[in-house]
């Protein structure tokens, strides 16, 4: 039995997103919408760089974030991309940080814990999927997600999010976003192998002088038991809109139910005692 509670029928599958090679082309966003028939979210002119989707949601299962930073000119090339191992010089430039965000497919998924209908389920690949035909639109999963990923569709009322292309991977195919990514920023495969690959990539960057490179979500001892979609970042998680220390929001539910049960038994015992006392 895996940490997630699902029987180990096969290796756990997931995503590793290497943001150091993301070029912000948004091919992943387009491929996701086309394959999964995700409705268009419109031309949102957010006034924030070239980011026209803003965040993840019911109609944006992939979101390519664009972050502009003022940094020493030696750290960026003429396209605004970070350079590796360049000596520090005077002057300032703009560094573009780009990252394709997605549902994290948590090991301990609060959305699963709170779903009353079983619309959310864990697949044989250890991914988390919503079944729209079973979702009743209660919305309990929305505040339960520590990453703010899942959302209800306004004109539909049901919850939607990334399925990690459950229909594709079941046939041995890559998810649409990973297939479309021209730089292999999005990599799909067995989670254990991806973690090893990510650790090697982080060390390569450190050796090249990019000491700010770090992994996010790969640690199985974090607050959600590690995620099935994790990232190599070039700055603090908050810069990318990610919580620094995510914790499964239903972590304390078992203790709360035990305390509630003990309190209810105590009240029942007091009522019985008072009734017996009154009879006497």
DSSP codes joined into one string, 164-223: --HHHHTTTPPPHHHHH-TT--EEEEEHHHHHHHHHHHHHHHHHTT-TT-EEES--TTSB
Identify the pLDDT of residue 265: 63
Of 64-78, 128-142, 220-234, minimum mean pLDDT range? 64-78
Report whether pLDDT(29) > 90.
yes
- Judged on CB neighbours under 10 Å (0-12, 13-18, 19+), 209 is middle
Percent share of the chain, pLDDT over 90: 67
Residues 207-229, mean pLDDT to the nearest whole number: 95
Report whether pLDDT(260) > 60.
no
**What six digits make up the tokens of 193?**
């192998």
Identify the pLDDT of residue 69: 82
Residues 215-240, mean pLDDT to the nearest whole number: 95
Identify the pLDDT of residue 205: 96
Report whether pLDDT(261) > 90.
no
Please answer whether residues 97 and 234 qualify as being in contact, where contact means their C-beta atoms are separated by less than 8 angstroms. yes
Q: Across the chain, which distance is largest between two alpha carbons, in Å?
A: 91
Identify the pLDDT of residue 95: 82
Q: Which residues contact 270 (CB under 8 A, 6 or more apart)?
A: none
Q: What does each C-alpha distance from 223 to 127, 199, 217, 226, 243 come to in angstroms? A: 17, 20, 10, 7, 11
Q: Where are the beta strands (DSSP E) in the chain?
A: 13-18, 63-72, 92-101, 120-122, 128-130, 151-152, 159-160, 186-190, 214-216, 229-233
pLDDT, one tens digit per residue, over 140-166 is: 999 999 999 999 998 899 999 999 999
- Report the relative pairing of strands 229-233 and 13-18 from DSSP bridges: parallel
Please answer whether residues 108 and 230 qualify as being in contact, where contact means their C-beta atoms are separated by less than 8 angstroms. no
CATH classification number, 13-249, choose in 3.30.70.20, 3.30.470.20, 3.40.50.12280, 3.30.565.10: 3.30.70.20
Report whether pLDDT(252) > 90.
no
Identify the pLDDT of residue 104: 97
pLDDT, one tens digit per residue, over 32-64 is: 999 999 998 755 655 556 777 778 999 999 999
Report whether pLDDT(267) > 90.
no
**What six digits make up the tokens of 238?**
């908050």
- Stated pTM of the model: 0.81
Mean pLDDT for all residues in the chain: 85
Name which of 155, 132, 161, 145 is nearest 59 in CA terms: 161
Residues 181-199, mean pLDDT to the nearest whole number: 97
Identify the pLDDT of residue 51: 76
């Amino acid at each position: 039995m895996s940490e997630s509670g699902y029987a180990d029928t096969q290796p756990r599958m997931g995503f590793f997103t290497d943001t150091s090679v993301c070029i912000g082309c948004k091919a992943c966003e387009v491929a996701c919408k086309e394959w999964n028939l995700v409705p268009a979210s419109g031309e949102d002119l957010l006034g924030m760089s070239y980011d026209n989707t803003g965040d993840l949601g019911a109609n944006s299962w992939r979101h390519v974030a664009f972050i502009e930073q003022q940094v020493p000119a030696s750290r960026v090339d003429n396209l605004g991309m970070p350079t590796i191992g360049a000596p520090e010089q005077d002057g300032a430039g703009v560094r573009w940080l780009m990252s394709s965000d997605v549902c994290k497919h948590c090991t301990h998924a609060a959305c699963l814990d709170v779903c009353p209908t079983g619309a959310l389920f864990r697949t044989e690949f250890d991914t988390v999927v919503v079944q729209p035909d079973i979702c009743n639109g209660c919305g309990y999963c929305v505040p339960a997600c520590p990453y703010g990923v899942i959302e209800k569709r306004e004109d539909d009322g049901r919850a939607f999010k990334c399925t990690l292309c459950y229909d594709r991977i079941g046939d041995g195919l890559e998810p649409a976003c990973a297939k479309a990514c021209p730089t292999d920023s999005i990599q799909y495969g067995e989670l254990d192998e991806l973690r090893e690959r990510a650790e090697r990539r982080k060390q390569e960057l450190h050796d090249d002088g990019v000491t700010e490179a770090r992994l996010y979500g790969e640690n199985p001892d974090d607050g959600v038991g590690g995620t099935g979609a994790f990232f190599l970042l070039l700055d603090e998680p908050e810069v990318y809109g990610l919580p620094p220390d995510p914790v499964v929001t239903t972590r304390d539910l078992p203790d709360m139910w035990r305390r509630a049960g003990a309190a209810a038994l105590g009240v029942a015992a007091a009522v019985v005692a008072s009734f017996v006392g009154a009879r006497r």
